[in-house]
Structure 1
Amino acid sequence: MTFKVTVQPAGHTFWAEENEPVLEAGLRQGVALPYGCRGGVCGSCAATVLKGQVHYLDGQPLGLSPVELERGKALLCLAYAQSDLEIDSPQVGLEPDIEIKALPVRVEKMRKLADDVMELTLKLPASERLRFFAGQYIDILLKNGKRRGFSLANAPIDDQFLELHIRHVPGGQFTGFVFSEMKEKALLRIEGPLGSFYLRESERPLILMGGGTGFAPLKGILEQMMAQGMDKPVHLYWGVRAKADLYMDAVVRSWAARHPQLTYVPVLSEPKAEDNWQGRTGWVHEAVAADFPDLVGHDVYLSGPPPMVQAAKAAFLAQGLPEAQLFYDSFEYSPDTLKAMQENKA
């Protein structure tokens, strides 16, 4: 059986088979639905079901909070149509015209930012450029056909280079290779830009909240804003475990010193005794919630681990943040990396 899917407000239509996820059906027919992990974790493909019914094969996906479920949200990567559908996905038809390319790149520079974070600077071919928006990500295409997604940590000002912040994940195939075998001048193949996490035009003040290497896309967004002239209040919250994990702390503090509109709040969840930490502690989303009990007048951008993003979404929506003013990029692990991590813990 085939069902008609109408995407509002753009008015695009496509047909979904009963045995294929709605996202796959839309992408197959050229509708540019937003997506990320395709595994029901990151929440990037969430849309509101205005009419009709969907179902999931394995129960309710992790990428939806109870509040979102009550508001009729569905994760299109795992949702199957049970009837004709009308869905609300405002990003469709409104995305800027960005060409997704598969390109070779050369590792221009490798720099350890922390014991478990490597900065990779990738150089594009002289005849090619990758047009992207600060905050988007690229996929590294591996030889075994798998791919790994990493956020772009630089603004598209010098578009000959791409900057990535790669955290070493125990058991991770690619990150293990980066930290143990990769050398400068190595050749890689990438695809991008991908994702719908980028700065929207708005006069509202911004709250940027990152966890761990979730700082990377926020760094690109901040660099873009500083280059264009920061003309409204921006509050950056960076949550990590210990002081050493604030791997670009000095850089951000220098930005805040030069730009009065930028407020920087680092938050440690497990500070060490030797950190002698006098700043904020606890969960980073709780620090934001404490400082901004009413979020209706802000735009909020979240990036980092799925548990952080999920907790923040629930808390911020409960404090009045309109869904249309919330943007997020959830850093999910690939299935094989997650399996390796679980085996290492066993």
Structure 2
Amino acid sequence: MTSSPGPEPAWQKTGSGAGHCALSFEDGITRFIDCRPDETVADASYKARVNIPLDCRDGACGTCKSFCESGSYDGGDYIDEALTDDEAESGYCLPCQMTPLSDLVLRVPATSASARTAAAVHTATVAAVERHSATTVGLTLDVDDRRALDFLPGQYVNIAVPGTDQHRSYSFSSGPGQSAASFLVRITDGGAMSGYLTDRARPGDRIDFTGPMGTFYLRPLTRPALFLAGGTGLAPLLSMLEKLAQAPAAHPVRLLYGVTADEDLVHLDTLADYASVIPGLTYDHCVADPASTAPNKGFVTGLIDADALHGGDADVYLCGPPAMVDAVRSHIAGLGITPASFHYERFAVTTGTPDGAHGGADADTAQATAVASAAAR
């Protein structure tokens, strides 16, 4: 469930008197910056060569208006035309005026290109390649500069496939505070990463990856949560559970995990371990194959009812293939329930593109992310 703690990533540091800020851009790129308590987030961003769009720098135009998803701050001085009281109350802020009181996660309404920044490149060594099942392999990497690797639980990276000119996208199955970086890969015929992991991978191999990326990540839990995973879509939810194991929330979390066949099931023992240390965590799994030995046969939708959604007072995190994501969304809509927030990530089949995130479906699958928030916080 956990690995030995390595050098503490900057994102995990507390009590330093400075804020570590995650800037999440519209195109999924996330950049992390350090911000002193006496400097604004915009000033710290510019020092780090991340150019948050702004015009006035005086809290008068509202050009830099962003949304704070996590953390506390001093909002500074500004006029109503730049930021209304209602906007400030709901979590919007002006990076040109705000100073951090803790670590922050900011959603910036701009692309990384417009901010003239890009995802970081990291180099790592293959530590382990573990066959979890007939269809799933676990890849564990030792990152050269672990302190430089920051990510939010649920995010993914683009991994260069050794010996090729191709890249594949996979979500972290490990948590931000763990020393090694781990991923789940579904083995598929003809897949570039699948071929490498099954035929050529050896401990000690060198691998480059780029990231973190993605807007599918764990927000602060202020109400009950429902986690839904399909196949290797379990990976980002494991990363979220690891975060909750280190900093438990005061709200219950229900995880439902569905696969096609018994041979696709992985990490049931890990889920049991997490349930033993995370207060309020419960989980269940189901298998679509009618011949399965699992107690629940069928699809995840068969396990979702009004109670699981707390009548709408729940945050939903869903990761899986398109058919599952669409079925779950239709099922919840059919229940006549609108979750407080709904975050989902799915694998979209696109001809001629790489394997999907988390192993995808085949060699012609690309990773696509969509996040929807229904109803305000």
2:237 is matched with: 218
Indicate conservation of the 8 Å contact 2:316/2:339, yes or no. Answer: no
Residue 26 of structure 2 corresponds to 33
- 2:200 paired residue number: 181
Residues 1:321 and 1:300: Cα distance change in structure 2 (over 3 Å): farther
Partner of 1:157: 177
Match of 1:285 in 2: 301
Aligned-residue offset at 1:284: 0.7
3-state SS in 1 of match to 2:282:
strand
Q: What is the rounded CA distance, in whole Å, between the counterparts of 2:193 and 2:313 in structure 1?
A: 41
Are 2:234 and 2:257, in contact at CA under 8 Å, matched by a contact in 1? yes
Q: What is residue 71 of structure 1 aligned with on the other side?
A: none
Contact 1:236 / 1:264 at 8 angstroms: preserved in 2? yes
Q: Which runs of 5+ in 1 are unaligned?
A: 1-30, 37-89
Classify 1:234/1:323 alpha carbon distance in 2 versus 1 (closer, same or farther; 3 Å): closer
Alignment of 1:243-282 (within 5 A): 243-272=262-291, 275=293, 277=294, 279-282=295-298
Secondary structure in structure 1 of the residue aligned to 2:273: helix
- Provide the C-alpha distance between the structure 1 equivalents of 2:289 and 2:158, rounded to a whole number of angstroms: 31
Cα distance in structure 1, aligned partners of 2:250 and 2:262: 30
Deviations along 1:69-122, one digit per CA (max 9) or x if unpaired, are xxxxxxxxxxxxxxxxxxxxx954499x99721122111111111112111111
CA 1:173–1:229 in 2, change beyond 3 Å: closer, same or farther?
same
- Paired-residue identity, %: 27
> Which residue matches 2:46?
none
Q: Distance in 1 between matches of 2:255 and 2:330?
A: 19
Whether the 8 Å CA contact 2:157–2:209 is kept in 1: the answer is yes
Match of 1:330 in 2: 346
Contact 1:295 1:320 in 2 (8 A): no
* Equivalent-residue separation in structure 2 for 1:264 and 1:188 (angstroms): 34
Partner of 1:136: 155
Separation in structure 2 between the aligned mates of residue 333 and residue 174 of structure 1, nearest angstrom: 17
User: How many angstroms does 1:291 deviate by?
Assistant: 5.0
Contact kept, 8 Å, 1:293 with 1:319, in 2: the verdict is no
> Is this contact kept in 2: 1:241–1:271, CA < 8 A?
no
3-state SS, counterpart of residue 190 of structure 1: strand
8 Å CA contact retained: 1:289, 1:315: no
Q: In the alignment, what sits opposite 2:166?
A: 146
Aligned: 1:120 with 2:136: no
1:306 and 2:322 correspond: yes
Shift of 1:307: 1.1
**Matched residue SS, 2:312:** coil
State the alpha-carbon separation in 2 of the partners of residues 294 and 121 from structure 1: 36
Question: Counterpart of 1:155 in structure 2: which amino acid?
Answer: G
- After alignment, is 207-216 or 112-121 more displaced? 112-121
Q: How has the CA–CA distance of structure 1 residues 122 and 315 changed in structure 2, closer, same or farther, with 3 Å as cutoff?
A: same
Secondary structure of the residue aligned to 1:281 is coil
Query: Is 1:169 aligned with 2:188?
Result: yes
Q: What do the CA deviations read for 1:208-231 (whole angstroms, capped 9, x no partner)?
A: 000011111000101101110242
Q: Deviations over 1:140-176 (max 9, x none)?
A: 1346543210010011112x42100111011212212
Give how far 1:180 is off: 1.5
Cα distance between partner residues in 2 of 1:281 and 1:139:
34
TM-superposed deviation, 1:258: 3.9
Structure 2 residues not aligned, in runs of 5+: 1-23, 30-105, 356-360, 365-377
Which is further off, 318-327 or 261-270?
A: 318-327
Rounded Cα–Cα distance in structure 1 between residues aligned with 2:196 and 2:320: 22
C-alpha separation in 1, matches of 2:335 and 2:191: 37
Distance in 2 (alpha carbons) for counterparts of 1:118 and 1:107: 13
| TM-fit CA distance, 1:203 | 1.5
**Matches of 2:349 and 2:171, distance apart in 1:** 13
Q: CA deviation at 1:296?
A: 1.6
Residue type at the aligned position of 2:166: K
CA deviation after TM superposition for structure 1 residue 271, in Å: 4.7
2-side partners of 1:291 and 1:269: how far apart? 22
Which has the higher mean CA deviation after the structures are superposed, 125-134 or 330-339? 330-339
Residues in 2 aligned to 1:118 and 1:305: alpha-carbon distance in whole angstroms? 18
Please list, as runs of the form range in 1=range in 2, the aligned pairs for 1:71-82 lying within 5 A after superposition. none
**Aligned equivalents of 2:322 and 2:267: distance in 1?**
22
Change (3 A) 1:92 1:311: farther
Q: Judging changes above 3 Å, is the alpha-carbon distance between structure 1 residues 105 and 271 closer, same or farther for their aligned structure 2 residues? A: farther
Change in CA separation of 1:302 and 1:340 when aligned onto 2, cut-off 3 Å: closer
- Classify 1:188/1:35 alpha carbon distance in 2 versus 1 (closer, same or farther; 3 Å): same
Contact 2:156–2:170, Cα closer than 8 Å, also in 1: yes
